[in-house]
Structure 1
């Protein structure tokens, strides 16, 4: 394996370990049947974005498409949701630009940035809804700013 660009690495994280795993609930406005399950009017529904990204049927379709097209970087993950209640344009694009730029600047200014502990020692914040670390210890060579 080669190296990913920051944009490719971000896309992979959004597929594999999106920061938002479950969206706050919605209430069913009418009786319905979804995925073989009965949903009654008034039932609370939680949207499992992380689980949606892990659906083996969808992942296989994405893998097949990438192999056939010869292109990587599929952006069809659910990190920003989908449909009527998705993250509105251009908010998603702005969020991605801000994150990508921040990471690129950080890596440019601190080229030897690395974890200060083995990755297996990182501790996740306990939450069913959001992913995150309790701490992210890193080490790098300090640099003087100019100007």
Structure 2
């Protein structure tokens, strides 16, 4: 089985979920994609602040239900907010390459996007430091290792 598979309901089959690196699965892991993507925004600082609040509230709900996949997917959306906003903060229009395909030099293209990135980074750091999340992650990894034999 390959991950992510958009045909799987990962709430019903959390054993199919893979933590992975970075933001892998944000657009495919259901039903979390449908729950989290509408909350995510980096258009402007006000929208991003609201998005961070909404995603953080959703994380707390997943944590209360003991839903590790939901907690980890929320981490991925916060991480995506940080990385995308940083890209826009450093490159005009968020494009790393110019019209000829050559790599642009990073700079300070958008101060508002830099502030947005910091909002996401702060929330991401809080989530990663959450003791319940850390324990759930260790337990999930332990179960996965033991299931593989």
Global fold match (TM > 0.5): no
TM-score, length basis structure 1: 0.25
TM-score, length basis structure 2: 0.25
Q: Greater strand percent: which structure?
A: 1
Q: Which has the higher contact order (CA 8 A, sep 6+)?
A: 1
Q: Greater helix percent: which structure?
A: 2
